[in-house]
Amino acid sequence: AQSVTQPDIHITVSEGASLELRCNYSYGATPYLFWYVQSPGQGLQLLLKYFSGDTLVQGIKGFEAEFKRSQSSFNLRKPSVHWSDAAEYFCACIYSWGKLQFGAGTQVVVTP
Amino acid sequence: DVKVTQSSRYLVKRTGEKVFLECVQDMDHENMFWYRQDPGLGLRLIYFSYDVKMKEKGDIPEGYSVSREKKERFSLILESASTNQTSMYLCASSFSRQEQYFGPGTRLTVT
């Protein structure tokens, strides 16, 4: 069965520091992978997606993610975090009929 | 830009009431989804629809039903609301196996 794992429930990072959020997936075929961000009380916003091609994907708000098939990973990175990046981040993988399997989410706290 | 709207941001209902949550998308997407989101449990799929009048159960359909009479509108119905249905409800839409676009969510409290 397909699954998406985000090992870190909570991450605290200083403003200006780099951020990396981990995501591992388990899926038999070539995965379609996504990262979403959710600000408090809001819906989910798509940060970036990977379907095929270049394994380094650029997204909005200065985020990027790298697909590594050998490690079944799709980690999200940002070189320099801003206070507005404090939010919950979800990794997701498409499976049948366009349904998404979500990870449990990683809460990011940004300190001054 | 894709826009997915939900009828209410906040809703308070009493136990036993019938509750309708409505979702409208403006991008002619064929797929529409209803999720509930609870702390520590992430997003769980309740129902989805891949065409008008078509619906499929998700992971947690018990206590819910849905209706899709028009392509742009997908309704979630709680036939008899219970306190354990207090949650954040998120609607989403997508085209085929593409990314899903989410509405702002409805925070439902059942008292």
Domain CATH for B49:
2.60.40.10
Which of A:53-112 have CB within 8 Å of B?
A: 90, 94, 97-100, 102-105
Residue B36: closest C-alpha in chain A: A43
Averaged pLDDT for residues A54-75: 95
Query: Over 90: is that where the pLDDT of A95 sits?
Result: no
End-to-end CA distance of chain B: 37
d(CA A22, CA A77): 9
pLDDT at B9 over 80: yes
Whether B19 contacts B77, CB under 8 Å: yes
Q: Is residue B95 domain-resident?
A: yes
Q: What is the pLDDT of residue B80?
A: 97
Contacts of A41 in chain B (CB under 8 A): 105, 107
Pick the CATH number of A3-111 from 1.10.10.10, 2.60.40.10, 2.40.50.100, 1.20.140.10: 2.60.40.10
Q: Let me know if residue B82 belongs to a domain.
A: yes
Q: Which residue segment(s) compose the domain that B16 sits in?
A: 4-100
Percent of chain B clearing pLDDT 70 (strictly above): 98
Q: What is the pLDDT of residue A2?
A: 76
Q: Where in chain A are the domains?
A: 3-111
- Is B110 part of a structural domain of the chain? no
Distance from CA of B17 to the nearest CA of A (A): 24
- Report chain A residues whose CB lies below 8 A from the CB of B104: 42-43
pLDDT, greater one: B98 or A107? A107
Higher local confidence (pLDDT), B40 or A83 = A83
Number of domains in chain B: 1
Q: Is A61 helix (H, G, I), strand (E, B) or coil?
A: helix
Share of chain A above pLDDT 90, in %: 77
Q: Is residue B57 part of a domain?
A: yes
Instruction: With respect to residue B105, please indicate whether it lies within any of the assigned structural domains.
Output: no
CA–CA gap between residue B104 and residue B111 (Å, rounded): 23
CA-to-CA separations, B103 to A105, A112, B15, B25, B88, in angstroms, rounded: 18, 31, 25, 9, 11
Strand partners, B87: B108
Is B47 part of the contact surface with chain A (CB cutoff 8 Å)?
Answer: no
Position B64, amino acid: Y
Contact B56 A97 (CB under 8 A): yes
Query: Alpha-carbon distance B111 to B107, whole Å?
Result: 13
